[in-house]
Amino acid sequence: MADDKILALHPRGKKGVNISRTNCEAVKGAILDCLQAKTSTHLELTECVSRRLEKGFEGSVPWYTESVKLDLEARGIIERVEQGGRTIYRLMKAGIAFPHATREKV
């Protein structure tokens, strides 16, 4: 049986891509786990996702990471910000940036 496909969104409204639902869910979980731990640059995020996925992952981890990252940005789950001259990614919380470095107990 063929894997279901889903349309990954793009944050700038560009045409999204159809990707494997199974791979999308695996990469989405890895991205969220990575960003739960700390903010990351694109390279750091891709390396973290690669480490978290099982060796049997079918497909290009960097390509899926980029596609799913863009989808999560478009859905307001993560955000891209400039910090110290570099672009970082971090989780959003209720539509507001969740600053990991200054996280306080609630």
pLDDT along the chain (106 residues), means of 10: 84 91 95 94 96 89 96 95 93 59 34
For residue 50, the model assigns a pLDDT of 95
Q: What are the CB-based long-range contacts (under 8 Å, 24+) for 10-14?
A: 10/70, 10/71, 10/74, 11/70, 11/73, 11/74, 11/80
Question: Residue 3's closest CA among 31, 29, 30, 26?
Answer: 26
For residue 37, the model assigns a pLDDT of 87
Torsion of CA 22, 26, 32, 38, to 10 degrees: -160
Question: What is this structure's pTM?
Answer: 0.83
- Tally of domains within the chain: 1
For residue 102, the model assigns a pLDDT of 36
Domain encompassing residue 47: 5-102
For residue 29, the model assigns a pLDDT of 95
- For 66, the token pair is 């980029």
Contact 21, 8 (CB under 8 A): no
For residue 69, the model assigns a pLDDT of 97
* CATH assignment of the domain containing 72: 1.10.10.10
